[in-house]
Structure 1
Amino acid sequence: MTTTATDEVHFSPYDQEIVGDPYPVYRRLRNEAPLYHNAEIGFYAVSRFADVSAVLQDHETYSSAKGDILEIIQADIEVPSGVLIFEDPPVHPLHRRLLSRVFTPKRIIAIEPKIRQFCARSLDPLVGAREFDIIAELGNQVPMRAISMLLGIPESAQEAVRDAVDESLRTEAGAPMNTDQTLLDGQAFAEYVDWRAANLSDDIISQLLQVEFEDETGTVRNLTRQEVVLYVTVLAGAGNETTGRLIGWTTKLLAEHPDQRAELAADHSLIPNAIEEILRMEAPGHFMSRYVTRDVEVRGTTVPAGSIMMALIAAANRDEERFENPEAFDIHRRDLLHMAFGGGIHFCLGNALARLEGRVALEEMLKRFPVWDVDLSSAQLSSTSTVRGWDKLPVRIP
């Protein structure tokens, strides 16, 4: 069977019961409906690793130009220039190269001491406490300070920036995103770009304001103010939201696997691989959507042009055809080629920063709290159709 009616296996990104634990449904989709069609909401979905990879690699058939979020594609919003994740060639590679110039591995490596300081600033006051919320104290703090420092947003404004990003992604439980309240206009960041234009430094905003490039028409120019604002919007959103989720899932998974946590506490060299396994098991972004530009055959069925295809990344990361014993958490797992950062031309530009923050945050937490439990009865999953993670995750120190 390649497709299925919704009365056989049902998947909806708005179904709160599924959102609470989507993995049983993902397993059914992989096995019973590797090409799934939800006619009521209006999307197709693939869940096998090979199929998800094929969708993300083929930008000509599966376009990002209308967005990569189901609700935004359906709203048919005109996406302004500068929203990198919502662009296809020839514009996308030009804009991505610009960010690659200012988002270099050297720059990321250089900020590790500052990220360690941010972690210490959050965790040191908690030493001796018996209970705290890891999201409020660490997950909401470190990513915000790291990306804001890179961008050049003053510390006094950083919490407001984070809150603006969070608010744009929140939904009512069981409801689609309100596309009238997205960050696509970038106005939440305009004043910081204008301030930096008058106070240039060595941060990313300053570099974007000054960079010259050849655009798709062959014209050598600077980025417009609006393009810079939108670049900053995309970076701030990605840098704040997903890495905070990674910290939350790290805390939960290691609470559930104390023996493996003890190994990490004793040997920090195991932590980088553990972060990859955490990303595989609990990818912050569970799916990416694409607009289908032409009729395409998937699993023996024709998906017509004009459809929306959802690539279920979190389902692919637990595909039995790709990973041995995929439901098991194993910090020693090898061949960890997961898709938590997407794939193809839109592979996450900030993956090195996310990995660095995840590693350093875990190192610093283990130094202070080698043992912890989580109180899931008081925890709260976030209400959003774009990323999956914790708004609140109480930690108890024995």
Structure 2
Amino acid sequence: MTISAANDVYYDPYDVELNADPYPMFRQLREQSPLYYNEAHDFYAVSRHEDVNRGLIDHKTYSSARGAILELIKANIEIPPGVLIFEDPPIHDIHRKLLARMFTPRKIMALEPQIREFCERSLDPHVGSGRLDFVADIGAQMPMRTIGLLLGIPEEDQEAIRDYANDQMRTEEGAPMKAASEGMVTGDIFGAYIDWRADHPSDDIMTELLNVEFEDETGTVRRLTREELLTYVNVVSGAGNETTTRLIGWAGKVLAEHPDQRSQLVEDPTLIPKAVEELLRYEAPAPHVARYVTRDVELHGRTVPEGNVMMFLIGAANRDHRQFGADADSFDIHRDARQHLTFSVGTHFCLGSALARLEGRIALEEILKRFPEWEVDSANAKLSPTSTVRGWETLPTFTR
């Protein structure tokens, strides 16, 4: 164990026991070691909202081009073109624009009837059973159907595609991502679907990407290469499944722990959008993101040398009392809206944020309509082992 600043301050993103409840340590980091250094894994970290917010915006100093995950940056592996979260401007902006037009507010809101139908189909079989797993029965189902619809993946193949995407994010307990040693996954699994869509166009993302023309960083007007197409579809598939699944899982856990606020949502569903926002702040599905430091930086009276890795602790920043008040560690669906960092900020602000919020709102509306009360089956609930996305692998509940 390597100590930074105060003797009892130690943060390790691979520590399973610590990550089961990282918030006491996050609080210590904010107050005692706002610039933290871990010798064992050789990274720096900031935890206060102002520092994390400023760093995420400053893409010139904190680069994404070598990855946004500690072990990927350390491995210095080749990143395929089109992995938006692992790119810097100007290439990032070119690639982002191609997807941004497929995630406009109008297109997202038009999905509401289908998303609601996916929720109904997932939830109705469990009415009266006394049991509901917030992950297996709804969190892993509705987002999968939604992103499958957007991409153009046949429904019978969506479960396999979801599991493929999720496996890329999984880690063994206490271990880094496999991609750090095995390289980035290329997305070849989507090749057959792209070939099919080339001959059978439809109103979906794959068809749009097949036909889009754009001006690349060299000034050449062209279409996407096959490798770029595979990467784009792979990125959208992974981003569209995992985070929303974790959001729904946390809704089950947190609302069970706050039955009074859950009752208020049942009585007044117009409060649900605020509840979704508070859930996103209170339990960020992705609690940290990393960057490569491109120049020497002065922070809190110390120098972070060029070439190091800076970890931005989003989960800690989201509970900083400087931003959210003295009760920042409390869950409150009536909290005044203030900027949290769950969807990042600046260049890498999440393209799918509106979709995630829509899915979260509809899921809660449909769950609370059918199951106004539940208790978590703690003996059988299990946290996901991934070091990059924090959430529930399974969250069974007893419903009433």
For Structure 1 versus Structure 2, the TM-score category normalised by the shorter chain is over 0.9
Give, in whole Å, the separation in 2 of the partners of 1:378 and 1:42. Answer: 36
Task: Summarize deviations over 1:115-173 as a string: whole Å, max 9, x none.
Answer: 00000000000000112322110011001110110011111110010110121111111
1:25 aligned partner: 25
**AA partner of residue 168 (structure 1):** Q
2:199 aligned partner: 198
Summarize the Cα distance change of 1:331–1:255 in structure 2 as closer, same or farther, 3 Å threshold: same
- Identical residues among aligned pairs (%): 59
Tell whether 2:162 aligns with 1:162: yes
Asked whether the equivalents of residues 151 and 205 of structure 1 are also in contact (C-alpha less than 8 Å), the reply is: yes
Runs of 4+ in 1 over 3 A off after TM superposition: 5-8, 180-184
**AA partner of residue 137 (structure 2):** E
2:95 aligned partner: 95
Asked whether the equivalents of residues 211 and 222 of structure 1 are also in contact (C-alpha less than 8 Å), the reply is: yes
Shift of 1:321: 1.0
- Find 1:390's aligned residue among 388, 392, 400: 392
Shift of 1:5: 4.7
Give, in whole Å, the separation in 2 of the partners of 1:100 and 1:134. Answer: 30
Tell whether 2:147 aligns with 1:147: yes
SS at match of 2:101: helix
2:380 aligned partner: 378
Tell whether 2:98 aligns with 1:108: no
Tell whether 2:315 aligns with 1:303: no
Give, in whole Å, the separation in 1 of the partners of 2:6 and 2:44. Answer: 12
Give, in whole Å, the separation in 1 of the partners of 2:208 and 2:10. Answer: 47
Alignment of 1:1-398 (within 5 A): 4-5=4-5, 7-179=7-179, 180=181, 184-324=185-325, 325-398=327-400
Give, in whole Å, the separation in 1 of the partners of 2:345 and 2:188. Answer: 29
Q: Which 5+ residue runs of structure 2 have no aligned equivalent?
A: none
- TM-score normalized by structure 2? 0.97
Asked whether the equivalents of residues 375 and 398 of structure 2 are also in contact (C-alpha less than 8 Å), the reply is: yes
Shift of 1:7: 4.7
Give, in whole Å, the separation in 2 of the partners of 1:395 and 1:357. Answer: 21
Asked whether the equivalents of residues 280 and 317 of structure 1 are also in contact (C-alpha less than 8 Å), the reply is: yes
**AA partner of residue 29 (structure 2):** L
Task: Summarize deviations over 1:8-42 as a string: whole Å, max 9, x none.
Answer: 41100111111111001100000110000001101
Shift of 1:190: 2.3
Shift of 1:315: 0.2
Shift of 1:4: 2.4
Give, in whole Å, the separation in 2 of the partners of 1:94 and 1:267. Answer: 43
**AA partner of residue 232 (structure 2):** Y
Asked whether the equivalents of residues 79 and 184 of structure 1 are also in contact (C-alpha less than 8 Å), the reply is: no
Task: Summarize deviations over 1:300-345 as a string: whole Å, max 9, x none.
Answer: 1110110000000000000011111101111010133111101110
Shift of 1:238: 0.7
Asked whether the equivalents of residues 83 and 184 of structure 1 are also in contact (C-alpha less than 8 Å), the reply is: no
Q: Which 5+ residue runs of structure 1 have no aligned equivalent?
A: none
Give the number of aligned pairs: 396
SS at match of 1:339: coil
**RMSD in angstroms over aligned alpha carbons?**
1.3
Give, in whole Å, the separation in 1 of the partners of 2:6 and 2:107. Answer: 48
Asked whether the equivalents of residues 77 and 183 of structure 2 are also in contact (C-alpha less than 8 Å), the reply is: no
Give, in whole Å, the separation in 2 of the partners of 1:136 and 1:377. Answer: 16
Give, in whole Å, the separation in 2 of the partners of 1:359 and 1:48. Answer: 28
Give, in whole Å, the separation in 1 of the partners of 2:306 and 2:130. Answer: 56
Shift of 1:203: 0.3
Summarize the Cα distance change of 1:144–1:268 in structure 2 as closer, same or farther, 3 Å threshold: same
**AA partner of residue 118 (structure 2):** F
Shift of 1:183: 5.1
Give, in whole Å, the separation in 1 of the partners of 2:178 and 2:7. Answer: 28
Give, in whole Å, the separation in 2 of the partners of 1:225 and 1:281. Answer: 40
Give, in whole Å, the separation in 2 of the partners of 1:318 and 1:148. Answer: 34
Range with bigger deviation, 135-144 or 192-201? 192-201
Give, in whole Å, the separation in 1 of the partners of 2:224 and 2:302. Answer: 43
SS at match of 1:322: helix
